């Protein structure tokens, strides 16, 4: 089911700036037992990013009602919220009073094999780099061609994710996930002030690590750091946390820090 500005329809105006210029934002949210998981955190990010792009923030009450309506009766699914700057303006220039478009849709839960979260996954490396732009970094905006090109680099169904580097060769994250390493028992995750998406699950893991007395460093990570890591894992709002068991030529154990965090996250969110 799809609601566009509250109306059940599956089509939008071709003049919408989301289509014309990638001028908008989105959130991908897990739905479990009729409830949008980490909903408050997703809304907080959406609202913050709307402010960064000067897109009027959707009315909270309206959004809450629509989300509740769509999630009702869904035992396990995915809620996607898109907010665009709406139609209008001449060329790239926004209209003076943008009328945002709000698109909410429910999708089936992806067919992730249970083995990915239990046993872990194989990661590959992507050739497509992430460009730096501090003005866009961290946001889950609609201009996502870099991720599309990176994800199209491979077709092997046994490899669910690829690592993207920036142009300097620093590790930023997966095409659809954030990444952490464990080093000397503590966590490190890439700095996202120049590029990448600051995931809601990444933020949740940072909080949980704090509660578990794990030290976390947000820093620049190289491929050598990944190679030498004791443990490696990726995360997003749908997968939760997946241990990485192999990245190119390097193998990793199913480590205790990863498993401890994973147990805590799953128990907090179920």
Binding residues vs its own copies (CB under 8 A): 2, 4, 10-23, 26, 53-54, 82, 84-85, 90-94, 103, 105, 110, 128-136, 141-152, 167, 175-176, 195
Give the shortest CB-168-to-its own copies separation in angstroms.
Answer: 10
Nearer to its own copies, 174 or 255 (CB): 174
Q: Where are the beta strands (DSSP E) in 85-193?
A: 101-108, 121-125, 161-165, 171-174, 178-183, 186-190
The arrangement of strands across the sheet holding 76-84 comes to 7-8, 2-4, 101-108, 76-84, 24-32, 35-36
Nearer to its own copies, 61 or 90 (CB): 90
Give the shortest CB-191-to-its own copies separation in angstroms.
Answer: 16
The two tokens of residue 239 are 């997968």
The two tokens of residue 80 are 């996607």
- Coil, strand or helix at 166: strand
Residues 6+ apart with CB under 8 A from 69: 3
- Coil, strand or helix at 171: strand
Nearer to its own copies, 99 or 152 (CB): 152
Nearer to its own copies, 33 or 168 (CB): 168
> Taking Cα atoms as reference points, which of 139, 130, 216 lies closest to residue 173?
130
Nearer to its own copies, 30 or 82 (CB): 82
């Amino acid at each position: 089911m799809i609601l566009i500005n509250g109306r059940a329809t599956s089509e939008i105006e071709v003049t919408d700036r989301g289509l014309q210029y990638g001028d908008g934002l989105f959130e991908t949210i897990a739905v479990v037992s009729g409830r949008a998981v980490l909903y408050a955190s997703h809304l907080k990010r959406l609202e913050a990013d709307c402010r960064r792009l000067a897109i009027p923030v959707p009315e909270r009450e309206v959004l809450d009602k629509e989300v509740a309506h769509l999630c009702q009766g869904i035992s396990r699914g995915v809620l996607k919220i898109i907010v665009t700057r709406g139609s209008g303006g001449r060329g790239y220039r926004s209209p003076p009073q943008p009328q945002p478009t709000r698109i909410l849709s429910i999708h089936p839960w992806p067919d992730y094999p249970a083995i990915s979260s239990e046993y872990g996954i194989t990661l590959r490396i992507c050739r497509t780099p992430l460009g730096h732009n501090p003005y866009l970094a961290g946001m889950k905006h609609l201009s996502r061609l870099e991720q599309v090109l990176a994800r199209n680099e491979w077709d092997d169904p046994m490899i669910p994710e690829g690592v993207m580097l920036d142009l300097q060769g620093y590790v930023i994250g997966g095409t659809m996930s954030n990444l952490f390493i464990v080093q000397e028992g503590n966590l490190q995750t890439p700095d996202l002030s120049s590029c990448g998406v600051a995931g809601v699950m990444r933020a949740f893991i940072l909080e949980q690590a704090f509660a578990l007395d794990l030290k976390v460093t947000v820093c620049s990570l190289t491929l050598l750091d990944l190679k030498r890591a004791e443990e490696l894992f990726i995360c997003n709002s749908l997968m939760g946390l997946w241990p990485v068991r192999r990245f190119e030529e390097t193998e990793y154990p199913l480590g205790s820090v990863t498993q401890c965090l994973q147990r805590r996250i799953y128990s907090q969110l179920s």
